[in-house]
Structure 1
């Protein structure tokens, strides 16, 4: 748990606001104030989380409420490993998770797949639960190639898709209303890290981040309501650090 951080309306808040910066292995992932990548990560894919909640450098721009750096797992942690988990519970809730990874002297790979479903997704509007199923699927990968002791190439990518039935009242159910929501989020960054002989560390990372939110009215709705919004973020991150000792 992070002191002063909480989740409200599916968004992470820190010190009272949700304008936070997300980083993956030290590389910022661009997002709007309403789009966050935090839900992308299964905790089992995270090695550890670094958090800054105050006294932030001007490098972080207008995201003044906190910086969250997700340090991901990679194939160098073990050789030829894998894990599978599956659970089943009330309301037909299931959770499935698979990961695998390995490495050679220079190359390492790590990947995971995760899925879930339940008969109770969004908060119901009446005591009777009607049209309230949800499901999600995500995948994650981390590839590392150490060309030499001074150069490393890395690719980190993730994609997630969530499906929700919009709960009905009894009257809406009788009218045949069957609205759905779909949320899609994916990102990828390619990073080159070069360590110079004079105490310099250069990081160059082009990135891409995609968000999409859909509200899909049912075909038999008296009034079909449809909304489809998406955003694309393309850019790059360059950082040069110099250490003098």
Structure 2
């Protein structure tokens, strides 16, 4: 077993930490609580390096430790103190079948195979597969809404539009620039924004989203980027929902369902 101070272990954990934090935030629906669980997993490995199973791939080993921490906490659903969007998110969360959301995120957003999901969650593969199928059905039926797309590449915009419409959502429109996005949101307030980072005129999807929220109020946001690790640095506010390019249809479906479900308002601020 590689020791706790081994450069190999340190490098392996460091390389996968942004993805663990992404998973934890999507799981909890919030940046702060997600980061606390990720930090708890790192502390557990530091205190007991044997928890990090070197016989597994680096990412699976790290996520397995995290999941043991998460499961031992009882996968808590807060039932007090929240108001508005947060209260609605917790209400939805309390209605989900246990373990389904975790399996869905692991399989779609983090792209683990069903066998790897089973290893992380410490269940058999058939059970892990059933969790994923159940999650898709429950998320699909939980909520639908109006989605605004900010994307400058026409082919990608059309693909995203088709995916979310097939899910039963309505697309309010597609914006190619920051200015277009502000105008589109003013015409009809969306329930969710699906936004690229770099737009056609070199404007910023991040800036557009932050301006819309400042003007119109909180709403869930999903950012899409080819370089997710650049946005998950731990140095400031970051997105709870982040899709890597190139994406898969299941990743979009999962993130849209999760973001609407949690109504997360975590955004990036430059």
Name the TM tier (shorter chain). Answer: under 0.3
Q: Which has the higher helix share?
A: 2
Q: Which has the higher strand share?
A: 1
Bigger Rg over Cα: 1
TM-score (normalizing by structure 2): 0.22
**What is the TM-score with the length of structure 1 in the denominator?**
0.24
